[in-house]
Chains A and B, each alone.
Chain A
Amino acid sequence: SQQGEEDPQALSIQEGENATMNCSYKTSINNLQWYRQNSGRGLVHLILIRSNEREKHSGRLRVTLDTSKKSSSLLITASRAADTASYFCATAPSGNTGKLIFGQGTTLQVKP
């Protein structure tokens, strides 16, 4: 069954604005990861947050994790047109399952 569900499904903002995407999941996890997919390309890993972490930063990215609510958010600050892409959360379920489970993604459009 699908683990991650993302909200919103689509987001359109102006360059310079912040973009926030949310992800909810169902089972206990070892970590949660965010990936980016440009149109017609493969997914690229952005950032990983472990189950014992609450917040993590990487450049203009800020990820939060609330394990009590089984949710995460990805904030992209000062967005650029080049940030236009689909963003996916993926969870590594607890236990050595050997797989990531992906959500359906949020499509972000940043208008110049």
Chain B
Amino acid sequence: DTAVSQTPKYLVTQMGNDKSIKCEQNLGHDTMYWYKQDSKKFLKIMFSYNNKELIINETVPNRFSPKSPDKAHLNLHINSLELGDSAVYFCASSPWDREYTIYFGEGSWLTVV
């Protein structure tokens, strides 16, 4: 059984479109994240939710809006997509403890053309 699953895995879309990526975890973790990995493999945190509450909101354009309907789900909606949004987006989860060991999904490859 997949622990952290995200869909779609691949997404090709035109500039200006709006798209969503869905994520679900079945690990019972309290905390979920969205990370962005660029073409140089640099991995940067975007958002974090703990029990549906937003706790980390890094400097991300407000075209990106996370939504957590419950603690097992964290979706990412992106409005007015731009070429620079092309990247791999990883959903992840972790227990809410001091160690923050993170369990990643397989990634969603977004290409904006």
Q: Give the B-binding residues of A (Cβ under 8 A).
A: 2, 30-31, 33, 35, 37, 40-45, 48, 86, 88, 90, 92, 96-102, 104-105, 107
Contacts and interface: CB of A to CB of B under 8 A. Distances in A.
Nearest to B4: A42
Contact of A31 (B50, B55, B90, B99): B99
Contact of A86 (B33, B41, B99, B105): B41
Contacts of A33: 101-102
Given A97-B56, A98-B55, A100-B100, 6 more contacts: A35-B102, A42-B105, A92-B100, A96-B98, A98-B96, A101-B45
Contacts of A43: 43, 90, 102, 104
Contacts of A45: 101-103
Nearest to A106: B41
B68 interface: no
B40 A104 contact: yes
Contacts of B45: 99-101
B40 A98 contact: no
B75 interface: no
Contacts of B50: 98
Interface in B25-46: 31, 33, 35, 40-45
A102 B4 CA distance: 19
A96 to B, nearest CB: 7
B56 A98 contact: yes
A57 to B, nearest CB: 17
B86 interface: no
15 contacts: A40-B107, A42-B106, A43-B90, A45-B102, A45-B103, A48-B101, A90-B102, A92-B99, A96-B98, A98-B56, A99-B56, A99-B100, A100-B100, A105-B41, A107-B41
